[in-house]
Amino acid sequence: MESTAARPRPALTAGSVLPQDADRAALVARVHDPEADGPCVAAVRGEQVVDLTAVAPTVSDLMERDDAAAVVRRADGGRVWRLDALLEAPAGRRDVPHLLAPVDLQVIKAAGVTFARSLLERVIEERTGGDPAQAARVRERVGKVVGGTLDGIRPGSPEADRAKELLVSEGLWSQYLEVGIGPDPEVFTKAPVLSAVGTGADIGVLGASVWNNPEPEVVLVVDSRGRVRGTTLGNDVNLRDIEGRSALLLSRAKDNNASCAIGPFVRLLDEGFDLDTVRGIDVDLRIDGPDGYVLHGSSSMREISRDVLDLVAATHGPHHQYPDGFVLFTGTLFAPTEDRQAPGAGFTHEYGDIVRISSPRLGALVNTVVPSEQATPWTFGVRALMRNLARRGVL
């Protein structure tokens, strides 16, 4: 990938990141406040962002409240910031207020291989051993054999078992197909608590990777009792070459500095925005390269192979608890195959790419691609947060 020198920065405004119906939405933000030298839980009310830290010191605390939406809409707050000013500020600068990822103590989980189209691309990665030069050839063979075999199949069903028998007979069965149409989904820990970056920040791609792409996803925000309380957008950056060499390299491919973006806000579920709304969300992707390159893509939750509550149940229950809640990436339909650097190699990022993931009901998450090694180091962890909140007297 190219150098990050003189890379463009995304131009963000309140109008460009807010949901279209923001006036009816209960939106939660987190703001870095230099006066507090730490994060504030905040409500987005129009183009103002209101500090609610005295009411709920963490987003995790807020999600445990049955009246969370009412608190976000009406609770008295402290400091007030203009949303435009927060968006104009350089992310990562501790001397200026700016937006952070809108989650904090929740464990960051991700469900993989939940859409048929991206499922086949994972099989292709595996078959090529992570070599993008072989992608076109393998894609053609997989397409001829599999074709529409997986369309509409319910994972774990008798139809899925018959599809498995066919693919095994053709020598194309894969560990990715097992989690894609088998009885158990893939759920993994994407990133450490507090490590996600927010809208406007740089997003990291490991310097060693030569074949990679963004993964635009709907992210569920779940409390300690396993209740979905809200949703947001996420970018589960995918290093295709590294994971393609071996699924055991998943953590190397997925968990790197600044490799997880979440935002711009958490939209709480309420009478006008429920789980059925979430099941119908469309997510758009636009990539603007520093060389004028533009890529468009889209993903629809209507095409997911497992219901969102099934994914939550696979993550939380008698088998596993999350006392501070968790957020769950639900997977993506997006798997770019358009050639960018070389014929047959498909898409891969260039440093300086501006990635915009958006949905009319959730707003826009916008980040600039840089090497993970050059992204702002992550230094504010759980100990720092607890000390900061204790010093401010809000615990």
Mean pLDDT score, 243-269: 94
Mean pLDDT score, 78-105: 93
* Nearest C-alpha neighbor of 237 from the set 197, 278, 265, 267: 197
Q: What pLDDT score does 106 carry?
A: 98
Angstrom CA distances, 283 to 35, 233, 300, 322, stand at: 36, 9, 6, 28
**pTM given for the model:** 0.90
The per-residue pLDDT of the chain, averaged, comes to 89
Q: What's the rounded Cα separation, in Å, for the pair 355 and 348? A: 12
Mean pLDDT score, 65-78: 96
Q: What's the rounded Cα separation, in Å, for the pair 317 and 337? A: 37
**Does 350 have pLDDT greater than 60?**
yes
**Does 279 have pLDDT greater than 70?**
yes
Q: What's the rounded Cα separation, in Å, for the pair 362 and 231? A: 8
**Does 16 have pLDDT greater than 80?**
yes
Q: What's the rounded Cα separation, in Å, for the pair 330 and 327? A: 10
Is pLDDT larger for residue 135 or for residue 81?
81
Q: What pLDDT score does 4 carry?
A: 44
Q: What's the rounded Cα separation, in Å, for the pair 217 and 299? A: 8
Instruction: List residues bridging with 228 in a β-sheet.
Output: 222
CA dihedral sign, ordered 215, 218, 221, 226: negative
**Digit-coded pLDDT (tens) for 148-186:** 666 667 888 887 777 777 777 767 777 777 777 778 899
Query: Residue 328, SS3?
Result: strand
Q: What's the rounded Cα separation, in Å, for the pair 228 and 270? A: 11
Confidence of residue 292 (pLDDT cuts 50, 70, 90): very high
Query: Residue 291, SS3?
Result: coil
DSSP 215-242: -EEEEEEE-TTS-EEEEEEEEE-EEHHH
**Digit-coded pLDDT (tens) for 332-346:** 877 777 888 777 767
Q: What pLDDT score does 2 carry?
A: 44
